[in-house]
Structure 1
Amino acid sequence: MLRLILLVLGLLVPLTVQAQNGPLRIIIDEGVIEPLPFALPQFVAEGGEAEDYARRISEVIAADLTGSGLFREIPRDAFIARVTSFDSPVEYADWRAINAQALITGAVALSGDRLVVKFRLFDVYANAPLGDGLQFAASSASWRRLAHKVADQVYARITGEGGYFDSRVVFVAQSGPKNDRQKRLAVMDYDGANLRYLTDSSALVLAPRFSPEGARVIYTSYETGFPRINLLDVASVQRRALEDQPGSMSFSPRFSPDGQRVIFSLSEGGNSDLYMMDVGSGRKQRLTTAPSIETAPSFSPDGRQIVFESDRSGGQQLYIMTASGGEPRRISFGAGRYGTPVWSPRGDLIAFTKQNNGRFHIGVMRTDGSGERLLTASFLDEGPTWSPNGRVIMFTRETSGAGGAPALYSVDISGRNLRRVPVEGAASDPSWSPLLP
């Protein structure tokens, strides 16, 4: 039984990878120090027309797993065994000899425009499959989604938690000089592929947020000259104003977990408060009445509580209150200013932006404010968003100077595996979708 080490909010904790005495499993409370080595022979092409798809799908699966920071791919030139058929028997000794702990085999077939991908996962040290083989099918244009689905299954079977690869990110794509940036909404796969624009650059757009089912996006638009909340259908790209109260400014919207309500900030008469709106009827409910700035609200996964930022204590801090309003309680007490809180989909942590001593950080804390941990530090890091499984945080990082530009980065909640998301051009304000259906 192999033992690894976890770093959990500053504490060293044993991590067990079960193999000979039980099913292969990474038990992760944060991030592993040594990634689990896996072997992934190129998927078998069942027909010459599927050869290119087999190669590309294998590459995406490997990239998903290694990109998580929890897995390490063994180079194929180290392989002793060869996989020439999906039904070939597994020579476990040959895979153990190169220290592979997991083996992923698969096959790809193409019939017309229908692409079929099947795979198996094996626990090399237990000499046994890890779960049943699975098959996915879709149009050939969706080959990347098929690869992400396989990677999600492998990730879930080994870690015991849901995957996050078959998901999308909506963000603000930026172009032009720093003092005159053109901004428009865009959506992409979580890894930067399949970029598509949702709006043009005729109006300033900010803070897009996915709906819980991933079919809609809510965002702030300056199309009328004042900040207004718009609702956009991702498939049709049709949009409508959701809140348009004359003499006011509305911003920082976010959906409730059931997708039926939206919470946002509304500024009127120099004061900003939190409001709740029913998406269907447009009825509004005022949640705060303090003579301070309340903004950046985010629901708990059960929809019962809201975390937000406020300067009611004299500085920018984080507060939690019930979703129906009431007296909030402060949860941030460290040095510096706190903002843009976002509740983890698992409900255990809140991610936030922190500014202290001239540096910006992305951090996490427990919902009672304890266990604060800063994951990043730079000239400007801000705006965290959670992966669907609560394992990874994506955010905006901007460089300094006249040529500075924002880019999207991701980091594991242990603070490890900091990576730049490969997006062409400047990008900011990411929002992660749920797993796609």
Structure 2
Amino acid sequence: MMLRTVLLALALASPFTVPTAFAQDGPLRIEIDEGVIEPLPFAAPTFIAETPRAAALAEEITRIVAADLAGTGLFREIPMAAHIGRITSFDSPVQYADWRAINAQALVTGAVNTDGTNITVKFRLFDVFSNAPLGDGLQFGGTTASLRRVAHKVADQVYSRITGEGGYFDSRVVYVAESGPKNARQKRLAVMDYDGANTSYLTDAASIVLAPRFSPAGDRVLYTSYETGFPRIYALNLNQMTRRALDDQPGTMTFAPRFAPDGNTVVFSLSQGGNTDIYSLNLANGSRQRLTSGASIDTAPSFSPDGRFIVYESDQSGSQQLYIMPAGGGEGRRISFGKGRYGTPVWSPRGDQIAFTKQYQGRFHIGVMRTDGSEERLLTASFLDEGPTWSPNGRVIMFTRETAGAGGAPALYSVDITGRNLRRVSTVGAGSDPAWSPLLP
């Protein structure tokens, strides 16, 4: 039955509750009764070019939409060579029997129109076995320069209608682009589409940069720079490409910054006199508040989506573990109790899970746990996996994986929170420390 395999895959991700019936127009009902995950087969015939100049654009948009869906591991594209049916007009009735004959369960059709440098993309999604559309057709507009964004928006809509979850394709990732030998590596900030396309650089390689983090609106990036010889936090405005140093106090080192959900506050670690604690900074008036105190090293803070709590790492128990405290500071409550050391915690956008890096018996893992520390699951294992970041819908985690040896280099990988669909993310050269943006406006 339509969508059963996709919804089964979602059901196996324990943090989510999946209904037995999918809320859509029409009588479609879903029964999850199989224990094998199979990607849902879909067909995406080349979108119709409604103007002569639109043919190449229509082909490119179709390929991007299909790649987005297939890349999730929840969908499998049926090759065009296997298509029996042909879409010759966006408004022509769908011959469902032709698509059932090749076992397509979903059909995506579309059309592209151009007017100078502007493009308009229409699409429809059909449930082949129910002989019915899934929702109404939609239309997106933009310029030819924003073609990829328009295609990602179409794919997000298709993904959302089939899974019931928000999409994540129309988003960007900021990361540290690396080059040069391992013992003298140059680092600069770069930003790219979620799939590695459209890379641009935000800083030069004159000084080491670390830990870039998007603001909730995606218009600013926090990062740590060593350009003064000591770690300092900077805020970069992506619209104006201006930056400013934050909390530049003599005799201190600041690092590991992250925005609060409201975008008006930053939490970070400050080291002074051999002591490292977590502080918050009001960006409007510059006021600073100390949130932790003691002899332990407290760092890597991350807010809950509602802004009420902060998860962080600390060695106060004698080894690196995860703790949660109120956003205004106070005593931390330990949540990690497995074997090994835990670090770099990041709260899921859904609020129900925390991703982390775990080191145990010489191996590194990316894992997730509930906010009370229960239901810990390790999603990866490698020589060095670290630094998770969540997709905007909380379905996928991106992280850094570095290979061993003198020639080892970091690369970006992604994995579904079920632990399936581990994939290398295409970047220009080596890359590390990714941070996912929210969905673009």
**Which category of TM-score, normalised to the shorter sequence, fits these structures?**
over 0.9
Q: Call closer, same or farther: CA 1:99–1:232 in 2, change over 3 Å.
A: same
Whether 2:62 is the aligned partner of 1:58: answer yes
User: 2:20·2:29 contact (CA, 8 Å) conserved in 1?
Assistant: no
Question: Residue 164 of structure 1 corresponds to which residue in structure 2?
Answer: 168
User: 2:190·2:202 contact (CA, 8 Å) conserved in 1?
Assistant: yes
Q: Call closer, same or farther: CA 1:14–1:242 in 2, change over 3 Å.
A: closer
1:365-403 CA-partner distances (Å, limit 9, x unpaired):
000000000000000000000000000000000000010
Calculate the TM-score normalised by the size of structure 2.
Answer: 0.95
| Cα offset, 1:236, TM superposition | 2.5
Whether 2:347 is the aligned partner of 1:343: answer yes
SS in 1 for 2:120: strand
Q: Call closer, same or farther: CA 1:152–1:211 in 2, change over 3 Å.
A: same
| Cα offset, 1:353, TM superposition | 0.1
| Cα distance in 1 between the residues matched to 2:84 and 2:21 | 24
AA paired with 1:160?
Answer: G
Larger deviation, residues 187-196 vs 91-100: 91-100
Question: Residue 23 of structure 1 corresponds to which residue in structure 2?
Answer: 28
Q: How many residues align?
A: 433
Higher strand residue share? 1
- RMSD across aligned positions (CA): 2.0
1:313-360 CA-partner distances (Å, limit 9, x unpaired):
000000001001111100000000000000000001000000000000
Identity of aligned residues (%): 71
Question: Residue 178 of structure 1 corresponds to which residue in structure 2?
Answer: 182
AA paired with 2:214?
Answer: F
| Cα distance in 1 between the residues matched to 2:418 and 2:335 | 21
AA paired with 2:27?
Answer: G
| Cα offset, 1:23, TM superposition | 3.3
| Cα offset, 1:16, TM superposition | 5.8
Q: Call closer, same or farther: CA 1:17–1:343 in 2, change over 3 Å.
A: same
Q: Residue 137 of structure 1 is aligned with which of 117, 126, 141?
A: 141
Q: Call closer, same or farther: CA 1:24–1:401 in 2, change over 3 Å.
A: farther
| Cα offset, 1:21, TM superposition | 8.0
User: 1:26·1:160 contact (CA, 8 Å) conserved in 2?
Assistant: no
Calculate the TM-score normalised by the size of structure 1.
Answer: 0.96
Whether 2:216 is the aligned partner of 1:216: answer no
SS in 1 for 2:351: coil
| Cα distance in 2 between the residues matched to 1:32 and 1:432 | 30
| Cα distance in 1 between the residues matched to 2:152 and 2:18 | 30
1:136-158 CA-partner distances (Å, limit 9, x unpaired):
01111000000000000000011
1:107-127 CA-partner distances (Å, limit 9, x unpaired):
001110111100001111111
User: 2:402·2:410 contact (CA, 8 Å) conserved in 1?
Assistant: yes
| Cα distance in 2 between the residues matched to 1:345 and 1:133 | 28
| Cα offset, 1:94, TM superposition | 1.1
Whether 2:232 is the aligned partner of 1:228: answer yes
| Cα distance in 1 between the residues matched to 2:320 and 2:273 | 20
Larger deviation, residues 140-149 vs 70-79: 70-79
Question: Residue 392 of structure 1 corresponds to which residue in structure 2?
Answer: 396
Whether 2:51 is the aligned partner of 1:33: answer no
SS in 2 for 1:245: coil
| Cα distance in 2 between the residues matched to 1:96 and 1:312 | 60
Question: Residue 192 of structure 1 corresponds to which residue in structure 2?
Answer: 196
| Cα distance in 1 between the residues matched to 2:365 and 2:428 | 24
| Cα distance in 1 between the residues matched to 2:431 and 2:104 | 38
Q: Call closer, same or farther: CA 1:26–1:232 in 2, change over 3 Å.
A: farther
Whether 2:131 is the aligned partner of 1:127: answer yes
5+ unaligned residues in a row in structure 2: which ranges?
Answer: none
User: 1:26·1:158 contact (CA, 8 Å) conserved in 2?
Assistant: no
Q: Where in structure 1 do 4 or more consecutive aligned residues deviate above 4 Å?
A: 13-21, 24-27
